[in-house]
Structure 1
Amino acid sequence: MDKIEIKGLEVFAHHGVYEEEQRLGQKFVVSAVLSLDTTAAAQTDDLDKTVNYGAISRQITQILQRENHKLLERAAAVTAEEILLTNPLINGITIKIEKPWAPVGLPLETVAVETTRKWHTAYIALGSNLGEKKNYLDVAIEELKAVKGIEIESVSDWIETEPYGYLDQPNFLNGCACLRTWLEPFALLDVLQSIEAKAGRERKIHWGPRTLDLDLLFYDDQILGTKRLIVPHPEIEKRSFVLVPMAQIAPWLRHPVSKSTIKQLLEELNAEQ
């Protein structure tokens, strides 16, 4: 990925914990590294094919002067996220905000906070087998759309499937969705579980009936193995109710462990049945 750098942008703003900082203001020094593909701009020499670093510098200044924050962490996050949301050519951004006049009462050159936000691709599975199943799935998609830092790229059809594991329960309605998100895996998991909770999800029986089930299947090509979260989701290759809708939206996605595509995994599963 190519990069555009902005270094040493001076912004007078009113961020800080102390009342005097919020009232009087002080100098902040901002640097930004923008990640994007500059191939089209290099080939055409067309400014519209890249990011205007002058415009980004002005936008950073406007964001930092628009409202006051106590913490540099907050100021950096707000700035990075707005830049990412409003500039579709930018795939990632690292913002560093320095505070050379920080009131610490000691001789120092500066203090700084550096924050990175970048777009990731995640795939989730959705399922329901209680109540208004389609409505639960539709509402879940709308809830995800409303979360800052999540964009819905594609959604499969909802398909009816038989129960898996625990069989004495109604049929499921299942589907998958592709998300674009700057949320890290555990933050995304928190969002999924909060949406489940709103739908009245209860975890009484393993693989049992539920109003709404949201599982994180893939997150870029990352491999995670913790007590709370395993990515890729275990046993994807055994679950037609995941592979069929995934094949609709991402047939050529490769499983980062087996290296097989979703299409290949589905064909192998069908051959076994």
Structure 2
Amino acid sequence: MYSRDRVLIEGLTVLTTIGVYEWEKTIKQKLILDLEIAWDNKPAGESDNVSFCLDYFVVSQTITQFIESSKFELIECVAERVAEIVIKQFSVTWLKVKVSKPNAIANARNVAVTIERTAS
């Protein structure tokens, strides 16, 4: 059965080494992630049984640990890697990932990329 249900993880804040400039490669910077994950919530909603839920705590921890232990040049790369991990490790069929790098540009509050990916 087709479901348009989603699980949202919003404002997941992670510190990591990210950037293309040499000075950026020596510091930690904040990234903020928003995820929209396709998940059939009906079985959990009907049964009130946690075993039918997407464990968003484990998803968040997995993403946080991966990003914190990695180094990146581009937020585009962060988005791709996060999408790959969530699809593979949690059997997700579709997701949207937004990766924000606040204060990346002096006269902008935020810079971000958003990607949508499906399981192949």
1:23 and 1:11 mapped to 2: Cα distance? Answer: 16
* Structure 2 equivalent of residue 3 of structure 1: 6
| Paired residue secondary structure (2:71) | coil
1:34 and 1:6 mapped to 2: Cα distance? Answer: 8
1:51 and 1:40 mapped to 2: Cα distance? Answer: 11
* Structure 1 equivalent of residue 96 of structure 2: 94
Runs of 4+ in 1 over 6 A off after TM superposition: none
* Structure 2 equivalent of residue 108 of structure 1: 108
Tell me how many residue pairs correspond in the alignment: 117
| Mapped pair 1:23 → 2:26 | yes
* Structure 1 equivalent of residue 48 of structure 2: 45
- After superposition, where does 1:15-164 map in structure 2 within 5 Å? 15-88=18-91, 90-102=92-104, 104=105, 106-119=106-119
Higher relative contact order (CA 8 A, sep 6+): 2
1:18 and 1:82 mapped to 2: Cα distance? Answer: 27
Higher Cα Rg: structure 1 or 2?
A: 1
| Paired residue secondary structure (1:14) | strand
1:75 and 1:10 mapped to 2: Cα distance? Answer: 13
Task: Give 1:66 shift.
Answer: 2.2
Contact 1:26 1:101 in 2 (8 A): no
Task: Give 1:22 shift.
Answer: 2.0
- After superposition, where does 1:198-213 map in structure 2 within 5 Å? none
Identical-residue share of aligned pairs (%): 28
Task: Give 1:50 shift.
Answer: 1.5
1:2 and 1:21 mapped to 2: Cα distance? Answer: 38
Larger fraction in strand: 2
User: What is the TM-score normalised by the length of structure 2?
Assistant: 0.90
Gaps of 5+ in 2: none
CA RMSD of aligned residues (A): 1.2
The CA deviation string for residues 215-241 of structure 1, in whole angstroms up to 9 with x for no partner, is xxxxxxxxxxxxxxxxxxxxxxxxxxx
User: What is the TM-score normalised by the length of structure 1?
Assistant: 0.41
Contact 1:27 1:101 in 2 (8 A): no
Gaps of 5+ in 1: 120-180, 182-273
Task: Give 1:101 shift.
Answer: 2.6
